[in-house]
């Protein structure tokens, strides 16, 4: 992988990370605890709010996992190990990195 490819992958990983963090900040309100005030929120509305909160928390967990994967890929870039499978050490296919720039494994090891 040449310097231009590395720079392109770093830029893409950095942009993906920034997008995920922005989404996380934007959804912070949905993850807040749901109040018990029965006067202002009916039982069904509260259940809806709890469901929205649970879905927002699950989405946040997925985003946090993806940020960790991206951080690991950036660390591999910094160490000069990016583009090589973490299991077998073989080069990861360029098409695979094009689809998922944070992919830590080649197709053979991922399946």
pLDDT single digits (tens) 17-29:
999 999 988 877 7
- State which residues of the chain have pLDDT below 50: none
Which has the closest alpha carbon to 80: 26, 21, 3?
A: 3
| DSSP-assigned letters across all residues of 16-41 | HHHHHHHHHHHTGGGGSPPP--TTTS
At residue 54, the pLDDT reads 87
At residue 32, the pLDDT reads 64
Asked if 72 and 102 touch (Cβ cutoff 8 Å), the reply is yes
With the C-alpha atoms ordered 52, 55, 61, 62, is the resulting torsion angle positive or negative?
A: negative
At residue 88, the pLDDT reads 96
Residue extents of the structural domains in the chain = 3-79
């Amino acid at each position: 992988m040449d310097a231009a490819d590395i720079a392109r992958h770093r830029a893409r990983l950095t942009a993906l990370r920034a997008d995920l963090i922005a989404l996380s900040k934007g959804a912070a309100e949905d993850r807040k605890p749901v109040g018990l005030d029965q006067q202002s929120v009916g039982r069904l509305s509260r259940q809806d709010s709890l469901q929205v909160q649970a879905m927002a928390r699950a989405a946040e967990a997925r985003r946090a996992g993806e940020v960790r994967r991206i951080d690991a890929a950036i660390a591999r870039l910094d160490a000069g190990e990016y583009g090589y499978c973490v299991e077998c050490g073989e080069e990861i296919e360029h098409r695979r990195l094009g689809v998922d720039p944070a992919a830590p494994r080649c197709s053979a090891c991922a399946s």
